[in-house]
C-alpha cells in the first residue's frame, strides 16, 4: 500500500524522539558501562510498518527495550494483521542492535498486542476485553457526533450485502445526509474497492493508545475499513476477541465528526462481529439482506433471530437479486433465484420488506470501477430502488438534516 502523505502525521513523527512512548527499563544488574537503551532506541527508529510506513516505536510495537550486559532485550508486540511482517521486522531489529558497540546478542520476546478493546494502536485490536472479565460486558456507548447507527447484515456470504451497504450509504448521502460507512467485514473488506479508494491510506494522528484515524472521504461519505490498513491479498486471521477489539476501535478511535447516519457493513453469519457491535453501541436497528432462494433464506432466518435475541431492532428485509434485467431487453425480468423469498422472510418475522433490488450489469460495473450504481447509474432500476430505500430509512428515523 502507498505510504501516508499526511503532513500532520509526518510532522508528528518528526517531532517525536526515538524513545517517545517506549518504556526503557534498567535491567537488573545493569552496569554503568552497558550500552545506553535510549541510544539503542535511536537505532530502531528507522524500522517501519510496511502498511502505514510509520515507525514501530511510534506505533508502540516495540516495548521494554533494555540492556543486560552485552545483550539487548525487548518485547515485540505485533498486531495480528502485521504478523506476516514478523520475520522481516525481527531481522531488521537484530541487525540494527548488533551494530551498536558493546552489543553481541539480541533477545526478542514476542508479546501480544494488549491494547484495551476501545483503545490502542489502530489495527492493533488487542484482545478486546477492555478490562472486563468473562461475563462482564461493557456498557453500550454512543459515538460522539453520530446520530444514528444502522447495520447491514446477512446470514450468508454472496448475497450482495456489501453492495447494499455501500450503495445505501451513498444514496443516503445523495439525499442530503452526512453519512459514514464502517466496513466491519474484517475478513472480506471490499468497501475500499467498491468506492475506488483501495490505493489510499488513512491519516492516523497520535501514537500508542491515543491514535485517532481520519476516515477516507469519497463518494460523499466518510469511510473506514480494514482493507485500508492491510496490504492487498493479506489475510486477516483473527479470533473473536481480537475482532471485537478492532470493531470497537473503528467505532471510537475514528474522527467521525458530525454524522446523521453511520452505516455498518457487518460480516456474514452470526458470529463475534455481530455480537461485538450489538454490545458496544446503541443501534437504531439492522437490515437483513437475502436473495429470494431457499438456501439464503435459511441462513437469513438465523441471523434475524440472533438480532432479535440480542434485543436489536430489525428494521426490515432487503431482497437482493430479485430478478435479472438484461441490458438488451430492459423490459424483461428473469427470476434466476426464485420468487418471493424476501417477502416470506419479512412476513414470518413481522418486519417490513424494505426493498427488492434487481440485478443489472451497472451494479457489477459500478462495484468494480469504484463508482457505486446509485452514483454511476442513478436512473437505472437498481439505482432508483436504492434511492427509494434510502428515502424510506431517512424518513423512518430522526435525521438531523432534512432530505434535499
d(CA 247, CA 280): 9
Residue 33's pLDDT band (boundaries 50, 70, 90)?
A: very low
Residue 378 has a pLDDT of 96
CATH architecture of 15-110: 2-Layer Sandwich (3.30)
Q: In the prediction, which pLDDT does 353 show?
A: 95
The residue extents of the domains of the chain are: 15-110, 146-396
Residue spans of beta strands (DSSP E) within 18-100: 62-68, 71-76
Q: Can you tell me the distance from the alpha carbon of 404 to that of 401, in angstroms, rounded to the nearest whole number?
A: 9
Q: What is the pLDDT of residues 331-343, one digit of tens each?
A: 999 999 999 999 9
Q: For residue 371, what pLDDT is reported?
A: 95
The C-alpha cell that represents 24 in the structure block: 526503557
Whether residue 127 is predicted with pLDDT greater than 60 in this model: the reply is no
**Share above pLDDT 70 across residues of the chain, in percent, rounded to a whole number:** 76
204-205 vs 71-76, strand pairing mode: unpaired
Query: Residue 288: which of 226, 341, 365 has the closest Cα?
Result: 341
- Per-residue cell: 117: 478493546
Residue 89 CA, chain-centre distance (Å), reads 25
Evaluate if residue 171 carries a pLDDT over 90.
yes
pLDDT band at residue 169, thresholds of 50, 70 and 90?
A: very high
Instruction: Write the pLDDT tens digit of every residue in 370-400.
Output: 999 999 999 999 999 999 999 999 987 643 3
As beta bridge partners, residue 357 has 320
Q: What's the pTM?
A: 0.67
CA atoms within 13 A on the CB side of 13: 21
* Average confidence score pLDDT of the chain: 80
CATH class of 146-396: alpha beta
Q: What average pLDDT does this structure show over 203-216?
A: 81
For residue range 246-263, what is the model confidence (pLDDT) as tens digits? 778 888 889 999 999 999
Going by C-alpha positions, the residue among 195, 243, 233 that lies closest to residue 79 is 243
* C-alpha cell recorded at residue 398: 430522526
- Intrachain domains 15-110 and 146-396 with the same fold: no
Amino acid at each position: 500500500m502507498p505510504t501516508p502523505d499526511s503532513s500532520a502525521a509526518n510532522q508528528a513523527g518528526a517531532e517525536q524522539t526515538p524513545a517517545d512512548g517506549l518504556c526503557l527499563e534498567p535491567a537488573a544488574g545493569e552496569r554503568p558501562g552497558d550500552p545506553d537503551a535510549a541510544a539503542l532506541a535511536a537505532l530502531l527508529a528507522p524500522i517501519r510498518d510496511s502498511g502505514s510506513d510509520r515507525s514501530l516505536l511510534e506505533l508502540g510495537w516495540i516495548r521494554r527495550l533494555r540492556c543486560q550486559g552485552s545483550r539487548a532485550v525487548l518485547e515485540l508486540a505485533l498486531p495480528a494483521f502485521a504478523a506476516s511482517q514478523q520475520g522481516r521486522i525481527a531481522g531488521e531489529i537484530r541487525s540494527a542492535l548488533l551494530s551498536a558497540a558493546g552489543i553481541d546478542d539480541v533477545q526478542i520476546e514476542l508479546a501480544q498486542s494488549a491494547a484495551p478493546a476501545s483503545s490502542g494502536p489502530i489495527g492493533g485490536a488487542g484482545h478486546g476485553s477492555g478490562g472486563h472479565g468473562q461475563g462482564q460486558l461493557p456498557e453500550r456507548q454512543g459515538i460522539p457526533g453520530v446520530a444514528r447507527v444502522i447495520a447491514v447484515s446477512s446470514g450468508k456470504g454472496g448475497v450482495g450485502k456489501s453492495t447494499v451497504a455501500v450503495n445505501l450509504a451513498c444514496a443516503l448521502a445523495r439525499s442530503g445526509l452526512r453519512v459514514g460507512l464502517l466496513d466491519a467485514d474484517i475478513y472480506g473488506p471490499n468497501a475500499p474497492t467498491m468506492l475506488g479508494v483501495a490505493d489510499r491510506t488513512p491519516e492516523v494522528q497520535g501514537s500508542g493508545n491515543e491514535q485517532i484515524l481520519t476516515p477516507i472521504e469519497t463518494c460523499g461519505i466518510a469511510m473506514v475499513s480494514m482493507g485500508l490498513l492491510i496490504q492487498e491479498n493479506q489475510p486477516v486471521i483473527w479470533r473473536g476477541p481480537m475482532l471485537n477489539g478492532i470493531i470497537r476501535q473503528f467505532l471510537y478511535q475514528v474522527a467521525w465528526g458530525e454524522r446523521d447516519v453511520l452505516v455498518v457493513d457487518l460480516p456474514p453469519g452470526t458470529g463475534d462481529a455481530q455480537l461485538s457491535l450489538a454490545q458496544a453501541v446503541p443501534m437504531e436497528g439492522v437490515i437483513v439482506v437475502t436473495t429470494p432462494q431457499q438456501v439464503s433464506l435459511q441462513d437469513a432466518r438465523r441471523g434475524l433471530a440472533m438480532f432479535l435475541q440480542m434485543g436489536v431492532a430489525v428494521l426490515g428485509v432487503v431482497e437482493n437479486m430479485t430478478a435479472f434485467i438484461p441490458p438488451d431487453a430492459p423490459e424483461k425480468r428473469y427470476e434466476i433465484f426464485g420468487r418471493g423469498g424476501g417477502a416470506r422472510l419479512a412476513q414470518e418475522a413481522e418486519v417490513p420488506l424494505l426493498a427488492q433490488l434487481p440485478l443489472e450489469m451497472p451494479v457489477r460495473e459500478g462495484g468494480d470501477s469504484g463508482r457505486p450504481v446509485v452514483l454511476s447509474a442513478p436512473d437505472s432500476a437498481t439505482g432508483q430502488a436504492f434511492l427509494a430505500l434510502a428515502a424510506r430509512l431517512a424518513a423512518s428515523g430522526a435525521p438531523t438534516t432534512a432530505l434535499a
